[in-house]
Chain A
Amino acid sequence: MKAFRYVNVWVFIGIICLLAVANAIAPAPAELLETENRMATPKPVLTAAHVFDGTYFGTYDDYFADHFILRDEWLRINRIVSALNGSSGGSAPQVVTFEGANVAAKWTPDVGQAVVDDSYADGSTTQKATLQMTDESSTNEDEARLAEGEAQQFDNWGKLLIYGDSVMEINTANPEANAHYAAAINAYWERFHDTSNVYSLLIPTQIEFLEDDAYREMSASQRETIDDMRTKLDDGVQFVDVYDVLAAHTSEYIYFRTDHHWTQLGAKYAFEVLAEAVGGEVPAWLNTLVPVDVPGYLGSLYTATSLEALAAHPDTVTYYKGLPDHEMEDEAGNRIEDGNVYVLRWLETPQKYGVFLGGDRAYTQIETNAGTGRRFLVLKDSYANALTPFLTGIADEIIVIDPRLYTDDVDHLIKAHQITDIIFVNYALVNRWDGYAGLYEGLLAPEIH
């Protein structure tokens, strides 16, 4: 009787055949990949054109991977093993590079360096991604998006510091970006100073206040970044410096641990400074607000790194109830959700920070009964979302524009709504790359000579 040999062969064949069959016959999983907050790549359409330009096969790989059986379990194993591999063990700090992007723009590897196989023949081993914004991608693709519209995208990678149970973005200095940013704001001042005040807020982030010098110094000083930008602003622009107030309250929960945003408590402190700058005083009703805590939040930086250690200590999203009466509307004047700046249904999703204003939207209009005669235009990134609710007490109308999504110009808005104050709100890390300023400039109507 011949000995049974080479069981390794049967194990190999068994695994590849089993998973092949399982993938082929398994019922299609949910199209929404919850852990990644995106839709799975749909099956590419088999047309000659798609085949010959390579998109069919390229997309097929993504489709296959996204629909791979037991995908979440494989991701979990990957996380656990990677943690062993690239971690210093235990809770020691780590640095991680996140090649992050809003997956709003489509990208394809650089043509000619598509596959690493030929990389030794043609030399380059790094894959460079070129970004293509295709307008049709948002209408032709049947990917539904949680975000409305497509956010504009530019080349960015970010480094993250994992310190204890917190993850923080690391700052890098970019004087050109600072100068460009200031120039963009100055352009607004130049054009609108007859009718409106212009304010600028540049908000420092958590890593700036890390007490551990050695690690904090890995991140370029945001005090310097902010000051660098500020000195380039026109004298007429009012810079609202929230650095000191945040520094004074760092022992409180003003930043999320697993998300790159500040908490609304942090925004509240910043609002106090802004309110004084705009109206001369901190409104009394601020102290009457009631905080509502919603625990179990694992934010953007958890999603980016998916570290098990962070999952053990999630964040709590707190929003402040008791705001003055207001109505949140879209450009047509229709109420958004139930009109409240706190869009509570977001609290039931993983993206809990979205409760503030209900996510990033091209155009948001908030009407109030404040009776102050002030009408704000807020140009922003998502840090402003936590801040804007407080503005309902000091302005009759607030128009919030996201420069990545809004396609019209702001000149007509400022005129039509008789805007008294234009407020720029960004976090200090926005100028790691020079891109945002261009978005602001793009909102200005072309000059008519």
Chain B
Amino acid sequence: MVFSSLTFLYLFLPINLILYFSTKNEQVRNGILILFSLMFYAYGEPVWVTLLIFSATVDFWHGKIIERYRGCIQSKLALMSSLVINLSLLGFFKYWHFFTENFYALSGILLPTHHYALPIGISFYTFQTLSYTIDVYRGEVTAQRSYLKFLLFVSLFHQLVAGPIVRYKDIAAEIEHREISLSKFSYGVNRFALGLAKKVLIANTAGAVATQVLDFRQTSPTVVGAWFGIAMFAFQIYFDFSGYSDMAIGLGRMFGFTYKENFNYPYMAASATEFWRRWHISLGSFFRDYVYIPLGGKRRYQLRNLFIVWFLTGLWHGASWNFIVWGLFYGILIYLEKLIGEARLAKTPIWLRHGYLIVAMLIGWVFFYYESLPDAIYVIGTMFGMQGQPLIQTEMVLLIKQYWRFIILAVLACTPIFKVVYFKVKGVLKAQLGDWLDALLVGGTLLLATAFLVGSSYNPFLYFRF
């Protein structure tokens, strides 16, 4: 199930909210959340919900063992075991094909393979449970005694499927006891509506245009077209992903959970290093805390560590070489930035640095979008006029004329300007009037999003296609 769907908004969520708030008993509330979270997940993965439960159960026991035998060899073994099991699950379902393909290419030996589909969210929940066992091992958090509470942590539908990657220690207290308040709920509602607007109103539109322009069977490539198409994809992926995180954070707040921010206007960054402090923050910090720093960080073998981290970051996004290239692309840029040094970078004019990041980011997205590396290189070549493509064609002019208002909206939405204006206005208004403003925005978003969601199910049967 996804948040941006009619079944979630008008079937799942109302029932969930009503049941949850119909009782003051925390145990019952937790039970309801677990039940609904499992149903939410099972809706999309009726079979592999068992895997989720398995993963949670395994790491619950691992956590207890690590804590019980702290300081002894069993603790270390349990940590190893957790790592092995979680990474094996991920490896088996997500990376096995990739591995066998490459192994075959290198050795000519065809390893046996499976045809299981990738269970939704496995990349998120395996990382989540891994962070738990590692944190327990490091003593940063005490192991959860209650199986149900741990299952709640793993299965919470807010962040299960699309992040943010929530670390156990960040919500450990709230798992035990949550404060519900109308003002928190209000914040949650506003945040959820914001995410819904970003996803349904902006991301989906940008995505439709991107798909049209970047498919070179449909649209003959031009220089402007390539930039335009990738820019649309950049909008799509940002608003889609950050919109999802907004909805997750908003939902969490409604139920009394506070999740950390996952995006911070990444397209405002002025360097690749800064970009990755603003984009998918929970993933970046996961790799920093659990891979980069343990390997030695910048103190020992920095280049090697950077290579490993960015290789893995790319690989996490997809079992395909283009994602690895995308990750390493950023790794190289970050390393170069470190070489140049912050002091010298700060001396270059901000617009130059920002421009550099925008170009780099768009090039990066080309690798992300096209699974075939030759295709990606072809498109990048087109972007820089190296493929002999025309600068622009009628169709692109038409598209720009059609979408210029949307483009301006999307660009502005990448900046904090709407947020600044919103808070200024709210600061001026009396509290209650401010609430009415929120109500207008929330209500308007819900209704518009509903229209778009119904609209996306519009599927006319054209009697005569030919």
Binding site for B on A (CB under 8 A): 3-13, 15-17, 19-20, 23, 35-38, 51-54, 56-57, 60-62, 64-66, 68, 71, 74-75, 77-79, 81-82, 84-88, 92-95, 97, 100-104, 111-118, 120-126, 146-147, 151, 156-157, 159, 172, 214-215, 217-218, 260-261, 300, 303-304, 306, 351, 353-354, 359-360, 381-383, 426-427, 430, 436
Contacts and interface: CB of A to CB of B under 8 A. Distances in A.
Contact of A52 (B46, B163, B459): B46
B354 to A, nearest CB: 24
Given A118-B118, A218-B394, A86 B406 contact: yes
Contacts of A17: 14, 18
A58 to B, nearest CB: 9
Contacts of A354: 463
Contacts of A151: 465
Q: Which secondary structure characterizes the binding site on chain B?
A: helix
Contact of B463 (A4, A351, A381): A351
A267 to B, nearest CB: 14
- From A57, A159, A436, residue with most partner B Cβ within 10 Å: A57
Interface in B28-70: 43-47
Contacts of B47: 52
Given A79-B455, A360-B464, A125 B401 contact: no
B412 interface: no
B237 interface: yes
A97 B446 contact: no
Given A62-B457, A74-B454, A117-B161, 18 more contacts: A8-B442, A13-B17, A16-B9, A16-B10, A57-B1, A64-B10, A75-B454, A78-B454, A79-B455, A95-B398, A112-B118, A123-B319, A123-B371, A124-B318, A125-B207, A172-B218, A214-B394, A381-B464
B464 A8 contact: no
A114 B466 contact: no
B454 A65 contact: yes
Nearest to A118: B120
A16 B8 CA distance: 10
A122 B318 contact: yes
Given A16-B14, A37-B460, A123-B368, A117 B244 contact: yes
19 contacts: A6-B185, A10-B439, A15-B446, A16-B13, A16-B17, A37-B460, A37-B461, A51-B46, A64-B6, A77-B447, A100-B462, A102-B465, A117-B121, A117-B161, A118-B118, A121-B318, A123-B318, A147-B463, A360-B464
Interface stretch (B186-194, B356-364, B375-383): B186-194
Contact of A88 (B401, B442, B453, B464): B401
Interface in B389-441: 393-395, 398-399, 401-406, 431-432, 435-436, 438-439, 441
Contact of B122 (A114, A121, A359): A121
Contacts of B7: 60-61, 64
Given A5-B432, A117-B161, A117-B162, A20 B14 contact: yes
A156 B7 CA distance: 29
A15 B209 CA distance: 31
A301 B280 CA distance: 41
B462 A93 contact: no
A124 B431 contact: no
A436 B122 CA distance: 42
A15 B319 contact: no
B92 to A, nearest CB: 14
A65 B457 contact: yes
Interface string B185-207: 11001101100000000000101
A86 B402 contact: yes
A6 B186 contact: yes
Nearest to B90: A121
B405 A85 contact: yes
Nearest to A60: B7
A217 B450 contact: no
Contacts of B404: 88
A354 B464 CA distance: 9
Given A61-B6, A74-B451, A117-B244, A11 B17 contact: no
A16 to B, nearest CB: 5
Contacts of A383: 466
B406 A95 contact: no
A85 B406 contact: yes
Contacts of A426: 466
B139 interface: no
B25 interface: no
A120 B163 CA distance: 10
B265 interface: no
A141 to B, nearest CB: 14
A118 B451 contact: no
B117 interface: yes
A23 B182 contact: no
B431 A3 contact: yes
Kindly list the 10 A-B residue pairs having the minimum CB-CB distance in the complex, ordered from nearest: A123-B318, A78-B455, A121-B123, A8-B438, A65-B457, A381-B466, A74-B454, A38-B461, A112-B117, A77-B451
Contacts of A52: 46-47
A12 B193 contact: yes
